[in-house]
Structure 1
């Protein structure tokens, strides 16, 4: 960096990644800021510039560098700041130098300086709160000590839904995301999915993904979903309130079914045709992506947490327990960013199942789908211990209650959307889920098959199921 580039860099003043110091006489405070930057996104401390951005320079000698190096010994774990000397080539201080010190985001955070961890908040440095220190400590152990890859002590193959596992493999093969192993042995499939640890022990991730539906496991009370439809725009009065227990795929299906029941549907007649087109108030694919993200990225450590879906007259909220990690913020998530799933093995299985398309693009895809529908991009907020995504409902659909007694066209379209998202379902199971008779489901299935929208795979007596054609 030359002097002209330095001037451009400091023109905007101090920030989340930039600290200005008049001279190295402030080196102790500067090291606190370097510690904070290393615990955040990384950044620079510049000596020889006043906090207002005026370049004054200083005389940099070997003694100056030795004193800085000695101060750097206070970092734990050690940091290796990069130093650059930049001659002042303009103004009254020509001939002096500016010293630029840069640190990257620490690979082994949290970093402390003289035994105290610091963090950066906007353009200031402060002592890191205990909760933030604990979060960084967990992130630093993420590679080797994740919840999803710990042994599921006390659980065995009998606790898993074998059909859900087989459907996951077959859907992955159909999409070209797995090679057919030539066997449908359950433990063999789990091994191929990377969900066994310590030899043949089930991982917690395997249980989260495939435990038997509606079978409460005392060891894992967090395998839970809460859904609610509130009257108006507050939580004062319920119109519907349900809780479910089960594996991640089953819970996601129930969340989708709840939204099919309650999300307003706009219907219009096509000009010149005896055809009615029913369109959900929100793009189905965007909502499904948000639900998948909630299950993939949630913090499964907390036994009290559960994914929640809350629908009001004016908005839909999807709540995932946990926090954003690795320096991600709501703003960064709506920009191209590196994929850093909190539960990467669970994310891989969702990807193979076809419930997400690519890593690191979930929020971008949601934003794109909403914009294509002429709707505002959903907001993303971090609340205490949770991440909240909020979809605003279109003005014309607010206050409209659909309920479970939907019309025939709506039911057929809803069934098709469900089969598309959840291949491998049987008529009897879908009748229970949709709260209609099996005869009604079979009539809807017939319409979809005659329209070449779905196909039936396998035997009608044993193991047969429906999927999108």
Structure 2
């Protein structure tokens, strides 16, 4: 009977049947990650096969690993039912380790090579830096947008009361930890520059209305620094891309967007603050008939995987300097609770909860509209989410999404009696929520 060890390959464990020098990259990956053990003489199922030249390996491997990787490892001679195998134990290092000029880390039970932005972020983290903490020597104080500075001072007066009294621009930015020596940091460019896209072209945002995944109807590009982008994005969404339901409470006119404003704003802020700006993509907001989707290039912390986004979790901002300034100006209320706040806002609004996915190095946040369900026995009921009930409200929502339909067409499509449809239409017209446009033969109802 084959002897199987009681553990499996994982983030910190790897099995190899024989030694090959190419496995030095596995040792390199363990050192660059959380450490681990490489076992020689086992198959992939942890069956002990044994190795014949174990004494030779015990003698040569320590020097080979030290010479090629600069690592001191521990090697243990193991025996299981007269079969000999090795455990090479590697400790986590706090300086980056390379093998043949390349850098590797562990991802689950795999060893992967780092490239591009991932390599940049890895090297920064190993040096105790984050991307937004690096200086940009070409950027000068004259490129700071003073209007944005004043806006920040007004927004932050509750959390940083004395900031309004600081009239020296350089001293203010130093207090915000945006200087290192005589140079401003990348965070200062993204937060306060007149034209941050001059330095980081990918820092703009895009909004588009889509008829399908590939058919775009209109689009807008939002530029400027991140503090201004928050308001610009929300204004464009509210005024151009999202429909609003109008109601009246006495003499007061109420406007209610089809998605909760605060949840959308929280999602936009999260995207701008947590973006991986080494990623060449920009923040993209796609508005469909039945959903709104945000794509944001990001590198997730292993401590906060995407599966934890719908639960309370610790805050691990990818750009901590920028996150701290967003907190000071009141854009971030509770660190680590942004995603759960988005979900709760949607549920309170009578909508399905927003979802979070990680695809192709991007966090995908999706907001869903309430879907209408038609009952054959008569009338319109609330959607699958148990949102707003009442036939007249659902008729209004249906007209918003399906304009230029006559009363007869609405009655047929919703499978409700024509008289009921006409009565509800009259109520909506009396409340100034819909209007009839066009001729009697070809016209139809539109939301106002």
TM-score by structure 1 length? Answer: 0.63
3-state SS of 2:59 partner: helix
Aligned to 2:242: 263
Partner of 1:165: 149
1:225 is matched with 205
Which of the residues 71, 80, 84 maps onto 1:79? Answer: 71
In the alignment, the residues of structure 2 paired with residue 43 and residue 337 of structure 1 have an alpha-carbon distance, to the nearest angstrom, of 26
SS in 1 for 2:61: helix
Q: 1:248 to 1:79 in 2, by over 3 A?
A: same
Query: Structure 2 vs 1, CA of residues 123 and 62 (structure 1 numbering), >3 Å: closer, same or farther?
Result: same
Q: Which structure ranks higher in relative contact order (CA pairs < 8 Å, sequence separation ≥ 6)?
A: 1
RMSD in angstroms over aligned alpha carbons? Answer: 4.3
Between the aligned partners of 1:360 and 1:82, the Cα distance in structure 2 is: 39
Please list, as runs of the form range in 1=range in 2, the aligned pairs for 1:44-443 lying within 5 A after superposition. 44-55=37-48, 65-76=58-69, 78-81=70-73, 88=80, 93=81, 99-103=86-90, 106-109=93-96, 111-115=97-101, 117-118=103-104, 120=106, 123-125=109-111, 128=113, 132=115, 135-141=118-124, 143-144=128-129, 146=131, 149-151=134-136, 153=138, 155-157=140-142, 159-175=143-159, 180=163, 182-199=165-182, 201-212=183-194, 218-219=198-199, 221-230=201-210, 232-238=211-217, 240-261=218-239, 262-265=241-244, 280-300=257-277, 305-320=281-296, 322-324=297-299, 331=306, 334=309, 339-363=315-339, 365-367=341-343, 370=346, 375-383=352-360, 386-396=362-372, 400=400
Q: Cα gap change, 1:125/1:167 in structure 2, threshold over 3 Å: closer, same or farther?
A: closer
CA contact (8 A) 2:98 2:104 kept: yes
1:31 and 2:9 matched: no
User: 1:268/1:57 Cα in 2 relative to 1: closer, same or farther (>3 Å)?
Assistant: farther
Q: Matched residues in 2 for 1:287 and 1:216: separation?
A: 24
Q: Is the 8 A contact 2:266 2:342 kept in 1?
A: yes
The answer to whether the 8 A contact 1:166-1:186 is kept is: no
Distance 1:263 1:188 in 2: 41
Please give the alpha-carbon distance, in whole angstroms, between the structure 1 residues aligned to 2:398 and 2:115. Answer: 39
Q: Deviations over 1:326-356 (max 9, x none)?
A: 6578536637766543432212111211212
Cα distance 1:350–1:32, how it changes in 2: closer, same or farther (>3 A)? same
Q: CA deviation at 1:147?
A: 5.5
In structure 1, the gaps of 5 or more residues are 1-5, 403-469
Any conservation in 2 of the 1:40–1:327 contact (CA below 8 Å)? no
SS in structure 2 at match of 1:190: helix
Query: 2-side partners of 1:282 and 1:103: how far apart?
Result: 51
Q: Gaps spanning 5+ residues in structure 2: where?
A: 373-396, 403-448
